Structure 1
Amino acid sequence: MQFWDRRQAGQALAEKLLSLRGHHPVVVGVARGGVVVAAEIARVLGAPLDVLPVGKVEAEEWPGTTLAAVGEGGVLVTDYDAANRLGMSPAQLRSAAKRKRIELTRRIVASPRLFHRTAVSGRTVILVDDGITSGATVRAAIRVLRARGAARIVLAVPVAPVDALARISAGVDMTVCLRRQPWRQATRNLYSELSPLSDEAVADALENRSPEPVPA
């Protein structure tokens, strides 16, 4: 199984999530890549779409290696195995996380229309990313959504490593993953086109999102 891009992956995931349409879910994409996948799911389900910003703390000398992830409300998820392998001390990790948190806050403040926060309290949330490597960003997103009162979290991802997915699935109510792989670097192999996304590209994906239904 391989997809041309994130949109096609979202369409395939949406087919597996049709049973949730009657639960009136909120679809939440992890910024940035997860939003394009989530937009397709929201479109098919006729559900509201939101963005959840999470900041990745990456090793400068090993691009693509996520050491930790930060989210709103002081959420911090650390991949201690990766940090230990690279010889990063706890103090260095805390400092890097602090810088990333400041950067994330600035980004949210600079784009209020992008990160407007749909209410999720008491609702079913479909949490979407374009793929999982270490799982730190998705775990941070789950903590944020639980803190915001989500009643049920359904994780939907096109691809994930088996070990990380098992740990993450213990913290959600349902998991839908199209391709489970034994290795961590499986995401890039799933897509023919997987270019980095800007906030402008995320805004484009949100442009045609369904409005929040008005209570009767």
Structure 2
Amino acid sequence: MHYTSRADAGRRLAGELKHLRGTDPVVLGLPRGGVPVAFEIAAALSAPLDVVLVRKLGVPWQPELAMGAIGEGDARVINDDVVRLIRISKDALAQVEAEERRELERRTLLLRGNRKRIPLKGRTAVIVDDGMATGATVAVACQSVRALGAAKVVVAVPVAAPEAVWRTRVTADEVICPYTPADLGGVGNAYDDFHQLTDGEVTDLLAIG
């Protein structure tokens, strides 16, 4: 299976989500890449579109190595194995978390602007990304929307590594992914057009949706 673009992936994925009509869903894209996919799903389900934001907690001297992640609604996951391995102090971890919490708030304001977060209490939250390599980011997003009151959490992605789907099923009520190649390599391999989206592209879609 191959997608020409994120929009194409969203339209095709929407066909797998017809059963969610009538469940009062809110479609939540993970910025940036998940938003164009989520936009098409929200349109197909006649559902409101919003974002759910997550920030990685990178090791100070090796930022690409995640020692955890945070999300909206005070969602927080710490990778205890990494923390033990690098022997980072509680104070240093708290400092990184405080910095990323500020960045999370900044990104939220940038992408949502003056629009209020769509209430999730008692509703079905459909978390959408353009793909999952590990599932770590989506796992924190699941925690986040549950903290915000979602009654049911559905994860919908066009492509994912089989291991990521397995891990995500621990935190989500339902995972929908039509394409799970054993040799994924990278999410971008499933797309012809996988360009780096700008914040402007994301905010434009949110304004329409």
Cα offsets for 1:13-67 (capped at 9, x unmatched) = 1011112112231111112211111000001111111111111345688786655
The residue aligned with 2:26 is 26
Distance 2:156 2:112 in 1: 26
Distance 1:61 1:7 in 2: 37
The residue aligned with 1:155 is 155
Amino acid paired to 2:88: P
Distance 1:95 1:165, change over 3 A: farther
The residue aligned with 1:108 is 108
Give percent identity, aligned residues only: 38
Distance 2:63 2:93 in 1: 16
The residue aligned with 1:54 is 54
Between 1:56-65 and 1:165-174, the stretch displaced more is 56-65
> 2:205 aligns to what SS in structure 1?
helix
> 1:207 aligns to what SS in structure 2?
helix
Distance 2:80 2:184 in 1: 16
Distance 1:201 1:65, change over 3 A: farther
Distance 1:10 1:61, change over 3 A: farther
> 2:77 aligns to what SS in structure 1?
strand
TM-score normalized by the length of structure 2: 0.85
CA contact under 8 A between 1:79 and 1:136: conserved in structure 2? no
CA contact under 8 A between 1:54 and 1:137: conserved in structure 2? yes
Between 1:49-58 and 1:148-157, the stretch displaced more is 49-58
Amino acid paired to 1:199: D
The residue aligned with 1:132 is 132
What is the aligned length? 207
Amino acid paired to 1:206: L
CA contact under 8 A between 1:25 and 1:47: conserved in structure 2? yes
> 2:50 aligns to what SS in structure 1?
strand
CA contact under 8 A between 1:114 and 1:203: conserved in structure 2? no
The residue aligned with 1:90 is 88
Amino acid paired to 2:106: R
The residue aligned with 1:214 is none
Cα offsets for 1:146-196 (capped at 9, x unmatched) = 111111111101111212221211221111002113356431211112122
The residue aligned with 2:193 is 193
Distance 1:122 1:95 in 2: 34
CA contact under 8 A between 1:68 and 1:97: conserved in structure 2? no
Distance 1:93 1:111, change over 3 A: same
Distance 1:179 1:198, change over 3 A: same
Distance 1:50 1:190, change over 3 A: same
CA contact under 8 A between 2:111 and 2:202: conserved in structure 1? no
Distance 1:202 1:89, change over 3 A: farther
TM-score normalized by the length of structure 1: 0.83
Distance 1:114 1:4 in 2: 33
> 1:22 aligns to what SS in structure 2?
coil
Amino acid paired to 1:160: A
Distance 1:196 1:22 in 2: 34
Distance 1:199 1:115 in 2: 16
Unaligned runs of 5+ residues in structure 1 are 210-216
CA contact under 8 A between 2:74 and 2:144: conserved in structure 1? no
> 1:76 aligns to what SS in structure 2?
strand
Distance 1:70 1:169 in 2: 19
Distance 1:12 1:67 in 2: 35
- State the shift of 1:79 in Å: 4.5
